[in-house]
Amino acid sequence: MKIPKKVNRFCRKCKKHTEHTVSVAKKRDRSALKKGSLQRRRLRGLERGAGNKGKSSRGALSSWKMYGKKGSKKGDFRYKCETCNKMSVQRKGFRAKKFEIVAKE
């Protein structure tokens, strides 16, 4: 699916419609906040011994049966305001096999 590089969108900071540049979000491992909270938990002595004492959910399933069940993915787009440089996240995602950001003619 082709996505225009520049779209007119409502900017919450400017409080009006402005031109935004579209970009795909980078895939990140774990946020700094999560890492910090894990560190804090360890310092408090709550993350010792067997099990996690119900503090965190189990990891993602790694069974081969679970791979590739869906042929499409939801894109994670970020919109950056051209006037105030404020980045905003899309509210609702949509599925497509492939995303392609193209410049509008």
- Nearer to Zn ion by C-beta: 23 or 96? 23
Interface contacts to Zn ion, rule CB under 5 A: 11, 13-14, 81, 83-84, 86
The C-alpha atoms of residue 76 and residue 26 are separated, in whole angstroms, by 9
Smallest gap from Cβ 85 to Zn ion, in A, equals 8
- Residue whose structure tokens are 């399933």: 61
- Closest approach, Cβ 11 to Zn ion, in A, equals 3
- Residue 15 or 44: the one with the smaller Cβ distance to Zn ion is 15
Shortest distance, position 83 Cβ to Zn ion, whole Å? 5
Tokens of 7: 């779209």
15 versus 48: smaller Cβ distance to Zn ion? 15
Give the single-character DSSP code of 20: E
Q: Which residues pair with 18 in a beta bridge?
A: 9
Question: Judging by DSSP bridges, how do beta strands 2-4 and 100-102 pair with one another?
Answer: parallel
